[in-house]
Copies of this chain bind each other. A is one copy, B any other.
Amino acid sequence: MDTPKHFRPDWTERAPTPGTYRAVAKYGDPGQFKHPSDAWVAMMKEEFQLCDSDFRQKQDEGNTPIVLNRPPALEARHVDAMKVLVGEGNVASDDLSRVKYSSGKTAEEIIELRQGIVREVSDLVVHPRDKQDVQKIVAYCDAERIPVTVFSGGSSVNFGLRPMKGGISLVLSTHMNQVLAIDDTNQTARVQPGMFGPAFEAALNHAPERFGSKRRYTCGHFPQSFEYSTVGGWVVTLGSGQASTYYGDVDELVFSQEYVTPTGTFKTLGVPATATGPKINDLMKGSEGAFGILVEVTMRVFRHMPENRRHFSFMYPNWEAAVSASREITQAEFGKPAVFRISDPEETERGLKLYGIPGVADSLLSLRGFRPMQRCICLGTAEGDADYTRLVARKVAAIAKQHGAMSLGAYATRKWAKTRYAEPYMREDLNDYGILIDTLEAGVAWADVHRLHEMVRLFVKSRPNTICMTHASHFYPQGTNLYFIFIAKMKLDEYVPFQTAIIDHIVANGGTLSHHHGVGRMLAPWMESHLGKEQMGVLRAVKRHFDPNNIMNPGGQLGLDEVPPRR
């Protein structure tokens, strides 16, 4: 190797210049970064057959100002009408606004933005002040046949926010971002859709001070995008948080919802259970803005008892043992861990490197039979009542032991918990040196876990110099999810067909198209073959009912109004 020990890439440590493509493309806080460790750089060099010089010249940084050269196509009278509806200050048509609110965080989107490539954009950005504004906007746009694409947190990874037909980008997070009420008796919080995760959680944690509540609460939903995704976005994309094994996926956290659609505005009943026919409260979850706009949601909340939280971590001798133990844990009926994740051998190894495991610990693990590229790490917590978390932690440990695992204590999980929201920041650094990172994920029944894992890996690893790390992080008695992370030195024109083939392998081997990222336009081409034409027919009938003029997120969202071509 030609690497002097002290070489370290010149990672970017400056916030992007406002108004540049990079400013739109960068994840999260403009001033926050997370750089790959030196060990990771070494690993990438070895894996991708790179040398220091590959980490000397940054590429496609996207540091130029956004210039669109595409005048908005919306008639002036519509722009004026919007200004009358929501106030002049809440309407924008400058290039930056149009691009910003037409972009999500899809790998492909980000790389193109860095290259100055902007695909479809909206003509006008509108920031409604309240649900009445949304109602007026939707009525107007329906009458005038103006497409409306909803933007809230902006963290979509499947082109879910791209205004394929132009029109209006409706931004919910600017004003509609408050907790409206907390109900101590029902343990629910009524919240506006554009509220970001940390603000929501803070309001619940401080419910006594802010709402005069009797207790402190937690939302129980902590996706990796937590800091930059919103409550409404969670609901309409069927998100899942890192503690979902205990708290449930977001669809289980919804109590009732209020939607504005071209066909009408309605609020579902606020009841814990009902047998009054098929539940529209369920049908709306995951509708990704294609049926209407979620303007208020009442969420189930939980007592905030961080003092009872227990952290644990284990090393399993291999993937089979980790999966078997996890299945036993979710089926044994002693309660459920909250956070629970197992990493496959490749992720375990690279994770240990990323976090910088000391050589001595590595040797110790190997000595005890936990060998590199076989061993699998498991991280988790237990939450709830103090006696309950003690029981869950004890049972998890006993089952782990039965499956040959070694306890690693609480440290690894605490460290993971501290840095978990920072992972997405690493993408900027990798992209700066032409390295692509992307993820795909699938829900899967226990019986299909190994086949899905093996077949996806077999395909991905058939491409030389490609990292494929997998973990399962959402557990159910009937199965789990697999979350695949791909890293390679690769251009987009190679990646897009590669990704297509991976998706094909996922659905051919028992995985769902998505476990918690949603569908957007990226996965829409697979929807009909995945769900079958009968089920897609139902979804399309519902779409036509709600949105007969096809103004709601038109252009292939969920594959409802048209099927976008595979890219």
Contact = CB atoms under 8 A, between A and B. Distances in A.
A276 to B, nearest CB: 5
Interface stretch (A23-31, A71-79, A138-146, A441-449): A441-449
Nearest to A558: B277
Interface in A232-281: 237-240, 249, 251, 255, 261, 263-280
Contacts of A530: 269, 276
Nearest to A545: B541
Interface string A513-535: 11111110001000100111111
A333 interface: yes
Nearest to A251: B279
Contacts of A404: none
Interface stretch (A88-96, A113-121, A282-290, A373-381): A282-290
Contacts of A470: none
A283 to B, nearest CB: 5
Contacts of A513: 274, 276
Given A335-B388, A478-B187, A545 B538 contact: yes
A273 B240 contact: yes
A273 B534 contact: no
Contacts of A444: 271-272
Given A185-B327, A300-B477, A333-B384, A275 B535 contact: no
Task: Tell me which of A251, A282, A383, A481 has the highest count of chain B C-beta atoms within 10 A of its own C-beta.
Answer: A282
B385 A333 contact: yes
A395 interface: yes
B271 A443 contact: yes
B332 A535 contact: no
Contacts of A305: 333
A266 B478 contact: no
A515 B383 CA distance: 30
Q: Report the copy number of this chain in the oligomer.
A: 2
B280 A535 contact: yes
B274 A515 contact: yes
A447 to B, nearest CB: 4
Task: Tell me which of A280, A447, A558 has the highest count of chain B C-beta atoms within 10 A of its own C-beta.
Answer: A280
Contact of A538 (B274, B288, B533, B546): B546
B264 A533 contact: yes
B240 A275 contact: yes
Interface string A284-307: 111110010000000010110100
Contact of A286 (B278, B534, B539, B546): B278
A302 B333 contact: yes
Contacts of A531: 269, 276-277, 280
A413 B1 CA distance: 74
Interface string A468-510: 0000001011111100000000000000000000000000001
Interface of A: 183, 185-188, 237-240, 249, 251, 255, 261, 263-280, 282-288, 291, 300, 302-303, 305, 327, 331-335, 383-385, 387-388, 391, 395, 443-447, 474, 476-481, 510, 512-519, 523, 527, 530-535, 537-539, 541-542, 544-546, 558
